[in-house]
Each structure stands twice: as C-alpha cells, then as structure tokens.
A = this chain, B = another copy of it.
Amino acid sequence: MSRHRQPTFTLTTGPVNCYPEVLQGLARPVLYDYDPVFQETYERVSRKLCKVMATDEPPLILQGEPVLGLEAAAASAVSGEDVALNLVSGVYGEGYGFWLQRYCKELLEIRVPFNEAIDPASVEKMLAERPDIKVVALCHHDTPSGTINPVRQIGEIVARSGAIFIVDAVSSFGGMNVLPDDVKADIFVTGPNKCLGCPPGLSLLSVSEAAWRKIESNSTAPSASILSLSDWKTAYKASEPFPFTPSVAEINGLEAAVDRYLEEGEHAVWARHALTAKACRAGAKAMGVRLWPASEDIASPTTTSVTLPEGVTDAALRGKMRDRYGVMISSGRGETHDKLVRIGHMGPTAEPLYAIVALTALGSALSELTGKAYDIGAAVTAAMEVITKAE
C-alpha cells in the first residue's frame, strides 16, 4: 500500500488537531492589542474562562504553551527558603522536580512506579512528618503514563497543611471533572491546547489568594519577565496594559474554543472523553494488549496508554501505523519511551469512533510486526459494546 504522506487521523495526546471553529478563529483579522475591540475581547475571553474553570477571578493567560505556565509557577511561588514536596508518578511529575529544585531550599519527593498513582495517605504522612513543607506539586494527569492522580483527596490534605498546592492539569482539564477551586489548587496550570482543542501557544493559570500572597512575598519571583505571573495579574482588564504583546491570534482561537465548550456543556464534553477512553480500553484488552496503568481506576479519560509487547519498538509500531494506515499516535516520553504508546482522546478526537480507528490500526500493525494475531474483531466488538450501551 502506498505510504501516507499526510496523517489521516491525528490521535495524539497533544498537539491535537483543533476544532474547526478554532481554526477559523485563528484566521480572524489581527487587531492592535490596544484597539478597544481587542482589549474587550481579552477581558471577555478571560471572563468566559471563569465559567469554564469555575473560578471567581479570571485565570492568567500566559503567552506560551503550558510548559511556560509550569516553569513560571515554580519560579514565582517557590523561594529559596522553601521546602518543597514533589509527588512523582510519571515523567512529567518527575520533571517538575527540576524546576522546584532550581528555586527551593530542599526538595522532598514521594515516588511511585510510573504505572501507579500517588497514595493520598503517603502525602498525609509526609506532611505530618515535615510540617515545614511549603509547596506541594502534583501532576494530575501524567500524560507520558496516561495515569490520573487523586488530586481531590491530595488537595484536601495539602490544604489542611497550609502548603501551596501546584497542580499540573494540562492534559486533564477540559476533558474531565477537574476544576481549580474544587481540587483546592493554589496554582492550577493548564492550557487550551489539549482538551479544549486549540493549538499550543498559551497557558492558563488559576492562582489562589494564598498563592498570590506567597508570590508577592517572594523576593525572587520574576517580574518584567516572560516567567512572571504578577506581570499579568490585572492584564485581563480592558482598562489595564499588557506587560507585553499577547498572542492575538491564539486569543482569537481560544475564544472560539471556549464558546464551543460552553455551548456543548462541560458534562457532555467530559462524558465523551470518558466514553472514548473506556471503549478504547475495552477494545485494547479484548485484542490482547496490556494497558499500561496498573489499574483501570487510574487510567486517564483523555489518554489510553498501551504497553508495547515484547520485541516491538515504539518506532516500528508508530511508524507502521502512520505510514500504512495514516494514523498518528503518541510515543512514551523519557522513562516510558519504548515501553508504551499512547492514544489521545482530547477535544475533537474525544469521540468514541476514533477509538475504533486507533484500535484497528494498532492491532493490525502489531499483528504484522509480531506475526502473532491481535484480534481486532474482538477489539472492535468490545469497544462498540461499551459505546452502544452508554447512555
């Protein structure tokens, strides 16, 4: 069969293809940032984000993809006197330790295997032992593993301790029920480029009053810097200046995404993410591949991670799927690289029948690579049973 030059299906964990409305939003005329219409747009988008994130205050919009938001959160909230606790259940959680370490006095870590989730009890124990912990960081959905941490329970525990709770919800927010105040996050970092169906280019941060107080008392918190949170604190107001030029086109795309999200309704959006993932897992198991998460309870509704069978490399499998079937999925990262592959269910691809596409390409490629028969018929049957029975 002829090679697929272009992908037909981008079923990755980000960048994801955008909703059509977003692509059209990106093509709107670019206005001067101090044109009153753009100033109003920026404030209006910010206020719509309050609805989306269920916060009283508009989130900060930082002008770079969420890795900026994550670095900026550490740079702003963590000071040289702080003891920080990093909760590590995956590559992204582990990586956050690098930034915490850069800014804190002492870094503690709770670590579990990268196919498991953090046990809230372990956090409670650590906080009791080390009441000097001032910052706790958690990656809610550790995308390279496709696993979800119990952010709500951990949030309760951290809140009782008085520490600042930094949550990376980049690839879970918008695809499941995770909201800043509800999980007691002090700095909740996410972006529109995963489950909201936008291109990468912006970060969204909800910052609690406690976090603002910590930032404002932190003498090393960046200001007049791309890494500053404070610079943007009041920038959402049409009457206030921007610290530097916002990414006008990305803001236009974000407005389209937010309008779409609010129109569909968060519960409907979350339900189709969950259903797609559930169907995908059912199909994967029926086909004879192993899910990466130790338990389905912690499998993400926005990513299905599948363990690579013995002897199959990431490059061979994803290459075959992309080349022969036009299906692009994501690789693992760091420690999970070459141990698993990942099917994204984010934004426009969080639609159950995309799970069928992914499973079919995955099973067919595996059969060809291993010589062993992966039963795609069983996979599709099992996945469709989940889909059809859903209410």
Given contacts A9-B353, A63-B64, contact A36 B322 (CB under 8 A): yes
Q: Report which residue of A193, A200, A328 has the largest number of chain B beta carbons within 10 angstroms of its beta carbon.
A: A200
Q: Quick check: B322 and A26 within 8 Å, CB to CB?
A: no
Tell me if A186 counts as interface (CB < 8 A to partner B): no
Q: Quick check: A388 and B376 within 8 Å, CB to CB?
A: no
Tell me if A16 counts as interface (CB < 8 A to partner B): yes
By a CB distance below 8 angstroms, the chain B residues around A34 are 330-331
Q: Quick check: A245 and B67 within 8 Å, CB to CB?
A: yes
Q: Quick check: B380 and A376 within 8 Å, CB to CB?
A: yes
A to B CB contacts below 8 Å, 18 in the list: A2-B271, A5-B37, A8-B353, A18-B29, A26-B249, A31-B328, A32-B328, A35-B328, A68-B226, A99-B224, A200-B245, A200-B248, A226-B226, A227-B227, A353-B360, A356-B356, A363-B384, A368-B388
Q: Quick check: B32 and A24 within 8 Å, CB to CB?
A: no
Closest chain B CB from A181 CB (angstroms): 27
Closest residue to A382 on the B side, CB-wise? Answer: B377
Interface string of A143-156 (1 = CB under 8 A from B): 00000000000000
Tell me if A272 counts as interface (CB < 8 A to partner B): yes
By a CB distance below 8 angstroms, the chain B residues around A206 are none
Closest residue to A358 on the B side, CB-wise? Answer: B353
Q: Quick check: B381 and A247 within 8 Å, CB to CB?
A: no
Closest residue to A324 on the B side, CB-wise? Answer: B388
Q: Tell me, in angstroms, the Cα distance from A99 to B29 when the chains sit together.
A: 33
Tell me if A302 counts as interface (CB < 8 A to partner B): no
Q: Quick check: B1 and A247 within 8 Å, CB to CB?
A: no
Q: Quick check: B24 and A27 within 8 Å, CB to CB?
A: yes
By a CB distance below 8 angstroms, the chain B residues around A377 are 375-381
